[in-house]
Amino acid sequence: MDKSEAYRPPVLLDGLKTDLNRREREIFSACATFSDSGVRRNPITDAEAGYRMAFSLDADRILHSRAYTRYIDKTQVFYLIPNDHITHRVLHVQLVSKIARTIGRFLRLNEDLIEAISLGHDIGHTPFGHEGERYLSALCQKAGIGYFMHNIQSIQFLDFVERKGRGWNLCLQTLDGILCHDGEIHNRILAPNPDKDFADFEKEIAAKKTDPDYLLIPMTMEGCVVRMADTIAYIGRDLEDAIRLGILRRSDIPSAIVRRLGNTNGTIVYRLVTDVIHNSHGKRSIAFSPEISDALKTLKDFNLERIYTNPKSKVHSETIRQLFARLFETRLEELETNQRDSDIFSGFLADMSESYIAGHTPPEIVRDYIAGMTDRYFLHQFPERLRPAAPL
């Protein structure tokens, strides 16, 4: 079916879209991002966009991507744990979306843009979370293709890998929020840097690839909200998971943190969200109060020491590191020697666009191949005798 035969929604829906765009001007804050300001690399016609507004369309495209589906079996913090109540990446993403949209609603920002950024922000994560990210980054550097960072990889998937290399043609504001989402960085106040275009966006990606410490600032208030919400979503939830697994006790949480933030995830989230709304309302920045910011930084440091670098959480680290190296080197050799029976050909590159294949070196293709895997799929690339065994 050619474009002229494509389904057109009823004319009524076009009018409703116009009404929604007008309503945004009436109810949104002056510093919000309006849906009709969305900018794409490849402009789309009204017929292609249909009656969905720009950032709502982006959220739908991300939600229906294959990469989003794979969130379901990607590590958040703890892996190979036989406990169905431990947070996986898919839940974290949903929590970020809910928390960020709540903040955005009270600040009268664009919740569609917030949702799109939230849903896509971790799509570039490797199997086995930040640990896997470090292992893949070392391999990428050794192969001469720069550092691997999951925020850049999220853009890589959404722009160049999804839809067999055609990408989703998302708005700059959505992609920028995803690129700049890093919740590991501690900010008390975050003000957007709105003067960006796609050329600036590409320069930031190039700079970040060569210098992981290169500072990225979102171009929208909505992007700033998601960055803060990323921290709010994981900080207390990781505590609860660690307590559930016996890695620490609730009574271990320092009293200085408990006084300001509480000692349960629910209380921590509520106090952080409340503080952000109170300190950001009517302003052109997203901010915590100094007291809450200090308590949050202390909690981050506590989690780093007692959870993320705790030897109890790293039982299989060396095995996983070796498997990353083995898989990268094996698939790279198979790609370079044209071994067509390899999974990288029969699975990842099957029906991939010529533009993707021509535009990426073999190490970059292997990077994309591994980064997209779920934990389970990654482990199943190896015979059972090489896989780390989960405790019973």
Q: What is the pTM of this model?
A: 0.94
What is the tens place of the pLDDT at every residue in 151-186? Answer: 999 999 999 999 999 999 999 999 999 999 986 789
Whether the pLDDT of residue 4 is over 50: the answer is no
For residues 36-55, average pLDDT: 88
171 SS3 class: strand
According to DSSP, the residues that pair with 75 across neighbouring strands are: 88
- The continuous run of DSSP H or E covering 189 comes out as strand 189-190
Q: Is residue 143 part of a domain?
A: yes
- Domain with 91, as residue range(s), is 55-252+308-392
Task: State percent of the chain over pLDDT 90.
Answer: 86
Q: Is residue 7 part of a domain?
A: no
CATH of the domain at 176: 1.10.3210.10
Check residue 46 and give its pLDDT.
Answer: 73
Q: Is residue 261 part of a domain?
A: no
Radius of gyration of the chain (CA): 22
Q: Is residue 61 part of a domain?
A: yes
Q: How many domains does the chain have?
A: 1
Q: Looking at 25-39, 45-59, 364-378, which range is the least confident one? A: 45-59
Check residue 8 and give its pLDDT.
Answer: 60
CA torsion angle 83 392 323 247 (round to 10): 50
Q: Is residue 37 part of a domain?
A: no
Residue 209: closest CA among 131, 156, 167, 287: 156
CA 95: distance to chain centroid? 12
What is the tens place of the pLDDT at every residue in 80-131? Answer: 888 889 999 999 999 999 999 999 999 999 999 999 999 999 999 999 999 9
Q: Is residue 15 part of a domain?
A: no
Categorize the per-residue pLDDT at 17 as very low, low, confident or very high, splitting at 50, 70 and 90: confident
Q: Is residue 257 part of a domain?
A: no
What is the tens place of the pLDDT at every residue in 193-203? Answer: 999 999 999 99
255 CB burial (10 A radius; 0-12, 13-18, 19+):
exposed
| Spatial distance between the Cα atoms of 100 and 217, rounded to a whole number of angstroms | 17
CB neighbours of residue 392 within 10 Å: 4
Q: Is residue 2 part of a domain?
A: no
According to DSSP, the residues that pair with 171 across neighbouring strands are: 40
What is the tens place of the pLDDT at every residue in 328-339? Answer: 999 999 999 999
Check residue 11 and give its pLDDT.
Answer: 66
